[in-house]
Structure 1
């Protein structure tokens, strides 16, 4: 059984709700489902065509029917309580039942919300959603591009992809793949400066990489151990800026091989000495693992990663 399947089974085994008073309204359950996925009343209301007051009233009615709070205020928005998690399971059953009434029931629809690094978003996630949309054109993807640690409360996103093993609670963490970081320079830059023959010659050389003071990811911080003697020339939170600045001749770039190897004007240096392997991890909200659209997207991510495994490790240079 896969890790995703085990996570789904774990939440499916939760005990049933104890009702207090009249049974909850299916409409109120669907409102909770929208809030759980969006993390905010306003966002859920925009999706459902309801105002903030109506959303709050529906949630209040649901809590009265269930005899307890279904939502709690988190750092970045609303998160589910244990009662809310049970209620969301019922809401997903309502959603599936309504979907089965459609003449094109096998087709999926909805939004998958992803937080991921820039490189993963462009190289892995974007092609993956294209494959999903070939079969299910009503599925869309929203990407929040960010390089950060996994959040303890995933509000407003279904999935997170982070670099380095995450330490999270009430979530599933799945290792997706490793990728290689290497040292690159443009051919024009090397013609002007000369090709370094040893790592010692890199001391004092200009480096293109992340802004050290803003870097929150330990694995990315540790990856620059082989370039500690180099001086920051261009620093950015965006890896595509790293690639473009290196191509422009700003310095030596510590770059993901799967991005740098696409450019014939970049040369990889010290392949054996500087070959940092970093892991991509997927972090999933429990309720997200019960959404068919999310599961379809996760499957597409795995398929895309399998197709580009050589490029991720720097073994598939396209020159």
Structure 2
């Protein structure tokens, strides 16, 4: 008669590795969070799959997604995490860990960085890596925990959350306007120099569409960085199509045709559902929402 022995309990370490991979979508990012190399992460996942008798992860693009078996294992992994949190001090346990955020330059500087500074005053063990740039949703390519993009994203297996809207207006420096009469109508902008994004490198529909508000203008200074737009406009390179929340900070910039040129663009957050359950990310999102509430009038070009 064959003896039947109970299966050994699942390894808590292996489950926590699965949790880190599920939240980041990448072995390298999970390893960085846990202090493990890529090979060790892969070995831990393989050991967990051997014990469960099936695949817990499947390759999707440049990242990894949970299989149905992996989703069930994730619930056990989150239980391990909660139990460890109680051992560390229950509700008063310290929150720590690395968050990787991909966002536009303007959002990163005006919203995300101050939000993280406020969070670190309460939880100094939370760290933030910011990947800046203006792009379409690229969650699978960057391996970021969170992404903030302009325009409503079309994503699979991720959650999209509308954060806020901001105003894009036309600005010129006071010195420029002393030498060039301010236009009284958008049609008078035809042939005038524009400071904006590099058109051939911009693949964000909302920002592409905003260019239609300034018909007939020619590119004088073009950049992928919105802070370059602001500085070039202040320097007299031409008329800048700028976020109001950045331009309104500078007294040497004047908004031109504010009633006619007032484009409203949305910021959207993209996150893996698993990442939203991570304590550090949940705390950061609370800080982000608090910062957005504070600066919402500035985002719309109406300084409080």
TM-score (norm 2): 0.91
Q: Which residue of 2 aligns with 1:99?
A: 85
CA distance in 2, matches of 1:29, 1:120: 35
Where 1:208 maps in the other structure, the secondary structure is strand
Structure 1 pair 47/288, CA: closer, same or farther in 2 (3 Å)? closer
CA distance in 2, matches of 1:312, 1:111: 28
Q: Which residue of 1 aligns with 2:3?
A: none
Structure 1 pair 153/89, CA: closer, same or farther in 2 (3 Å)? farther
Where 1:42 maps in the other structure, the secondary structure is helix
CA distance in 1, matches of 2:284, 2:75: 20
**1:202, distance to aligned residue in structure 2 (A):** 0.9
**1:155, distance to aligned residue in structure 2 (A):** 5.6
CA distance in 2, matches of 1:110, 1:284: 17
CA distance in 1, matches of 2:206, 2:184: 27
Deviations 1:219-278 (A, max 9, x none): 111111111210011111111111111111111000000000000110000000000001
**1:21, distance to aligned residue in structure 2 (A):** 5.0
- The answer to whether the 8 Å contact 1:39/1:155 transfers is no
Task: List runs of 5+ in structure 1 lacking aligned partners.
Answer: 1-19
**1:152, distance to aligned residue in structure 2 (A):** 6.0
Question: Which residue of the other structure, out of 150, 155, 166, is the alignment partner of 1:179?
Answer: 166
- The answer to whether the 8 Å contact 2:183/2:257 transfers is no
Tell whether 2:161 aligns with 1:138.
no
Alignment RMSD (CA, Å): 2.0
- The answer to whether the 8 Å contact 1:118/1:240 transfers is yes
Question: Which residue of the other structure, out of 284, 288, 310, is the alignment partner of 2:271?
Answer: 284
Q: Which residue of 1 aligns with 2:73?
A: 87
Where 1:139 maps in the other structure, the secondary structure is strand
Judge which range, 178-187 or 136-145, deviates more: 136-145
Q: Which residue of 2 aligns with 1:200?
A: 187
CA distance in 2, matches of 1:266, 1:139: 37
User: Number of paired residues?
Assistant: 298
CA distance in 1, matches of 2:51, 2:142: 25
Structure 1 pair 220/307, CA: closer, same or farther in 2 (3 Å)? same
CA distance in 2, matches of 1:207, 1:214: 16
CA distance in 1, matches of 2:164, 2:141: 22
- The answer to whether the 8 Å contact 1:147/1:237 transfers is yes
Task: List runs of 5+ in structure 2 lacking aligned partners.
Answer: 1-5
Q: Which residue of 2 aligns with 1:12?
A: none
Deviations 1:122-167 (A, max 9, x none): 1111111112111111111111112122236376222111111112
Q: Which residue of 2 aligns with 1:222?
A: 209
- The answer to whether the 8 Å contact 1:182/1:255 transfers is yes
Where 1:31 maps in the other structure, the secondary structure is helix
